[in-house]
Amino acid sequence: MSVLQTTMASTFLPAVGRVAVCGGTHGNELSGVYLVQEMERKRKEKGDSVWPVPVTTVVSNPLAVKECKRYIETDLNRCFSNATLSTPITDSTPYEVRRAQELNALLGPKESAGATDLLCDLHNTTSNLGLTLIHYTTNDWMTLHICKYLQTKITRVPVRVLVLDIPISAAYSLETVSKHGFSIEVGPQPNGVIRADIYEVMKEAVDLTMDWIKIFNSGTVFEGGDIEVFIFQKSIDYPREPSTRELIAAIHPQLQDRDFCLLKRGDPMFLTFSGETVKYEDDETLHPFFINECAYYEKGIAFHLAKKWKLSIPRMQVQK
């Protein structure tokens, strides 16, 4: 494991005032869709004071949710780069690009002082990710403090933090329109299916994030320390038939469901449909994740590989 050294001085940040929880960014990932509905039902019943701060709840891709599809024309969660957000709208602009610009107006604007303070975007995966919190940059201390808090509090599934080290301007996910925040990925759950166990993990993560906001806003000091994170390195595709691009192998049973294990030279990676094992031949030992995620077949990804790092995060408290 490598260590990224950072300053250990105290950091002061403004109170969290504006929060958003979004589900259905992918319309067939149902835990978030039903959790947002449940939050809206609860607000109707008990009023806004059910949360420490006002929460904007959003069904991000309502047309895709209605059709129980990932997206209608293009993957909404790839539409929040500065470039796509500033694309002029024409008659041929895909639905999701229009919707991304609407969401940016509602929850951002991205990289502006008026943006939402904290955004949680709720996702499911067919991979055995447990609870994985995904965000950009290795120095968003508030996000990392919340991740650490969730790691401490949640015990029934592994809680991991994944960093995609991409400049915010180029980062394409919904949570990047806010100042802080993350995607909450919970799996395994098939697309188009809701599992109570997976729903409960997601609900616990959102409830604990609200608890954290309450504690932070009240002036409590969060001590600094180390946090283990996984940093994306590269992607591996399935073996395919050269001319048709059809799959000729599946993830090997010894790799399936073992997200975040260590993959080293010689380990089984794929099993061809005729029964042959394809091994990992790279010298670099890395951690595979998003193993056999349904939506990544069309993107040419069998799994991603990450490196494990330890980040030092500073002591943090609210600015008075």
Write the binding mask 70 to 109 for its own copies: x where contact by CB under 8 A, - elsewhere.
Answer: ----------------------------------------
Stretch of residues binding its own copies (CB under 8 A), selected from 8-16, 94-102, 173-181, 251-259: 251-259
User: Taking the CA of residue 167 as centre, how many other CA atoms within 13 Å lie in the half-sphere pointing to its CB?
Assistant: 4
Is the peptide bond prior to 268 cis by the omega test (within 30 degrees of 0)?
Answer: no
d(CA 40, CA 53): 15
As measured in angstroms, the least distance from the Cβ of 142 to its own copies is 29
- Identify the CA nearest to 147 among candidates 124, 181, 176, 173: 181
179 vs 252 by CB, closer to its own copies: 252
176 vs 191 by CB, closer to its own copies: 191
Q: Does 250 bind its own copies (CB under 8 A)?
A: yes
Stretch of residues binding its own copies (CB under 8 A), selected from 18-26, 53-61, 134-142, 292-300: 292-300
Residue 47: Cβ-neighbour burial (10 angstroms; 0-12, 13-18, 19+): exposed
Q: Which of 132, 143, 173, 191 binds its own copies (CB under 8 A)?
A: 191
As measured in angstroms, the least distance from the Cβ of 237 to its own copies is 14
148 vs 252 by CB, closer to its own copies: 252
Q: Does 297 bind its own copies (CB under 8 A)?
A: yes
Is the peptide bond prior to 158 cis by the omega test (within 30 degrees of 0)?
Answer: no
Q: Does 166 bind its own copies (CB under 8 A)?
A: no
Q: Does 12 bind its own copies (CB under 8 A)?
A: no
d(CA 143, CA 91): 38
As measured in angstroms, the least distance from the Cβ of 271 to its own copies is 4
Q: What one-letter code names the amino acid at 167?
A: P
In sequence order, the 6+-apart residues with CB closer than 8 A to the CB of 223 are 315
- Identify the CA nearest to 251 among candidates 306, 189, 191, 301: 301
Q: Does 61 bind its own copies (CB under 8 A)?
A: no
Q: Does 46 bind its own copies (CB under 8 A)?
A: no
- The CA angle 268-271-272, to the nearest 5 degrees, is 145
106 vs 193 by CB, closer to its own copies: 193
Residue numbers 114-133 binding its own copies by CB under 8 A: 126
d(CA 169, CA 172): 8
Helix or strand (DSSP H, E) at 156: none
Stretch of residues binding its own copies (CB under 8 A), selected from 82-90, 227-235, 245-253, 305-313: 245-253
146 vs 251 by CB, closer to its own copies: 251
Query: Quick one: how far is CA 77 from the chain centroid?
Result: 10
- Identify the CA nearest to 205 among candidates 66, 24, 39: 39
Residues lying near its own copies in the complex (CB under 8 A) are found at 34-35, 37-38, 41-42, 68, 126, 188, 190-197, 199-200, 246-247, 250-253, 256, 271, 273-274, 292, 294, 297
